[in-house]
Amino acid sequence: MVINIDAKADVKTKNKNGNTAKSIAADNGQNEIVKLLNNVGAK
């Protein structure tokens, strides 16, 4: 997963299935990514 926070990417964007980066990371056990996304305001 690529997260481009420095470029002000919208971390709240959903894919065509309605999943966010945070939900995908959580589903895949990527706890550090979930923490990072929480810190930048992801839903």
pTM of the model: 0.75
What is the pLDDT at residue 9? 75
Q: In degrees to the nearest 10, what's the CA dihedral of 1, 21, 35, 9?
A: 80
The residues, any chain, with a CB within 8 Å of residue 40's CB and separated by 6 or more, are 5, 11
Rounded to whole angstroms, how far apart are CA atoms 3 and 12? 12
What is the pLDDT at residue 19? 96
What is the pLDDT at residue 42? 76
pLDDT digits (tens, 9 = 90+) for 1-43: 566 666 677 888 899 999 998 999 999 999 998 998 888 887 7
